[in-house]
Amino acid sequence: MTVMKKVKRLLGIIVLLVPFVLFSQNETDSLLYQLRASKNDTNKVILLNKLARLSAFSEPVKSIGYAQKADSLATFLHYSSGIITAQRYLARTANILGKTDLAFKHLEQALQLARKTKNKYGEGATLNDLGSVHEESGELGKALDNYYEALRLFEQTGNEYGVGIVKLSIAKVGSKQGDYKNELKLAQEAKEIFQRLGDRGSESVALLVSATAYKDMEQHTLASLTYLQALQIADELGNIERKSEALNGLGTVYQEMEQFDKAISYYKQSLAIDDSIGNLSNVAISYANLGGVYYLTNNKRESKYYFDKARALAQETGDLYNLMSIMLNSSRVYYTNGDFVMAYEYRNQYDQLRDSLYSEKKNEQLIRIRELYETEKKIQEIARLKSESEAIRAKAALNRTLLFAFIGLLLLVLVSIFFYLKHRKTREQQKRIELEQKALRSQMNPHFIFNCLNSIQRMFIEGNYDLANEYMGDFGSLLRTILENSGKPSISLKDELDTLKLYLDLEIMRMGGTISYTFDIDPDLDLQNNFVPPLIIQPFVENAIWHGILPKGEKGRIEINLKKHSARLLHCTITDDGIGIEQSKKQKRSGIHTSKGMKITEERLGLLNAVSAAELPSGGTKITLIIPLNK
């Protein structure tokens, strides 16, 4: 997954706490005018809270001032609902400014008051806010606990708006976990709720979540259309924040479609909007997206410039998920630029962030260590309170105890670290070995070998000795080539194509000419001096024959196209006129068939989104590979 996939973090801002409604200067001016004419009553509290909400991103200091005034007046009036709302908006602004602990403090106060006064809407909204802050902090388990508690509460009280908002929050977590189908389902359910309520602003939020789910499922046409719907609503309502998010989403779609100029244009439009309103989290995301697209276009200088800016802003805002992705891609950029020290440093920081965000056991271990530290402090404090005569003996005994405890603890920590590192290294080595074994197995389907041997046997039985000898010679040459190349990390593109042609000729001979093939190779491509992983294309050609052409029951054709994607990348397509993906699904009990070589190929290539498949309108399938050259 590339940096652009972090556009889902935009939706973290969209449904952060309870989502923002329309941002409008006209609305702000109108509220200020009403505020000047208002008395010190509950209506003034409501006006102050609305102003706090509207200015949260653009003017956070003013937002805090409005919310504090609302809280003070609501406390004086004993207006509990106004206090709860003010505390939630104070938490919102604190979280935007990266003050997570303060955000939790305000939300706990709001939750306690909501439960004390039996304010069900305030309780549900605050629980949703707590879930969002936990999610921003990488605590997805706690976030989901809060979200589902809020959802049950809103369902029990029949609050449709609250149900829609929480479903978007849960969809956001599904996006982080890769559950895009559930993300889309929840977003569409929320959209239907907001359409019934006539809430166009919240409907645009649901459209943005749906569009991101479509994009992550590589349904680019649906994704772009849905982003355009959200953009149209944002323009109608004058909501520049939603407009920025829709523009950024369109940029990610065009980036995945390799229309990089359009992607850059949309990213820069989004960046200009977020920069103008001071939305630092979204600015960091736009920087990261620009860094990603310049990296793909081999513009090293621009890529490094935007990733450096994105990393600094993400660290400032405490956006851990975006920061983790930026660290990974920064490592790749510095590696490409030849700065291996910085590449290693950022890769190490990425690993630490990843372990921190996805290891609950590690978090529990840190809590136990902190509790042990607090216990030791209390023991030391008790020892200091003892009488002077006993203190000398007690201190000596305590020092010995602490020394032994410290030595034991130090040894335990060192041993734990040693075994952890050893286990991790062993696990990585095992994974690498398994991948190599899988790659070797996937390079030649056992059924192909058995079928070839059966064909040779049949030729001898039928008396076609010359053909059998020729077939057996070619088959032996193919096996020898595979065994020779399997131990090499890369071979020349010429050797790869020669092997592939030998494989295809064997299949044509065995199947009686029911298939044909053509190669379309870029004349500027140096086949002898460009190197690729061995047998990287063959599994997809084999898949085209067995799952595309043969089920068709008539003669089929395979076209292999090779051209340079960039200085270091090869663009390869394998197109067949077989039965296509959808028909292939229907012919299999298990549903979607995935060649065991396809999944391994992505791991062998070491690139994100290196393999994609598409059904052709005229029938058949097109596989696209992005292959690193001379890796």
* pLDDT digits 0-9 by tens, 513-558: 888 999 999 988 888 988 988 888 888 888 888 888 888 888 899 9
Q: Where are the alpha helices (DSSP H) in 59-139?
A: 60-77, 80-96, 100-116, 120-136
- Of 290, 14, 38, the closest CA to residue 135 belongs to 14
**For position 592, what pLDDT does the model report?**
41
**For position 356, what pLDDT does the model report?**
64
**For position 387, what pLDDT does the model report?**
61
What does the alpha-carbon distance between residue 260 and residue 75 come to, in Å, rounded to a whole number?
Answer: 54
| Angle, alpha carbons 102-107-108 (nearest 5°) | 100
| Angle, alpha carbons 480-485-489 (nearest 5°) | 170
Residue with tokens 């001898």: 460
Give the tens place of pLDDT for each residue, 237-253: 888 888 888 998 899 89
CB 130 within 8 A of CB 137: no
CB 623 within 8 A of CB 613: yes
Residue with tokens 């003892």: 386
Q: Any residues with CB less than 8 A from the CB of 201 and at least 6 apart, and which?
A: 21, 22, 233, 237, 239, 242
Tell how strand 556-564 and strand 621-628 pair up: unpaired
Q: Enter the tokens of residue 147.
A: 């979200």
**For position 26, what pLDDT does the model report?**
60
What does the alpha-carbon distance between residue 27 and residue 239 come to, in Å, rounded to a whole number?
Answer: 11
**For position 102, what pLDDT does the model report?**
92
What does the alpha-carbon distance between residue 574 and residue 590 come to, in Å, rounded to a whole number?
Answer: 24
- Of 595, 476, 592, 604, the closest CA to residue 535 belongs to 604
- Of 443, 467, 461, 451, the closest CA to residue 597 belongs to 443
pTM reported for the whole predicted model: 0.48
What does the alpha-carbon distance between residue 337 and residue 138 come to, in Å, rounded to a whole number?
Answer: 31
pLDDT below 50 — which residues of the chain?
Answer: 1-24, 361-374, 376-377, 380, 441-442, 589-594
What does the alpha-carbon distance between residue 219 and residue 126 come to, in Å, rounded to a whole number?
Answer: 35
* Phi, psi at 447, each rounded to 5°: -60, -35
Q: Enter the tokens of residue 531.
A: 């190197």
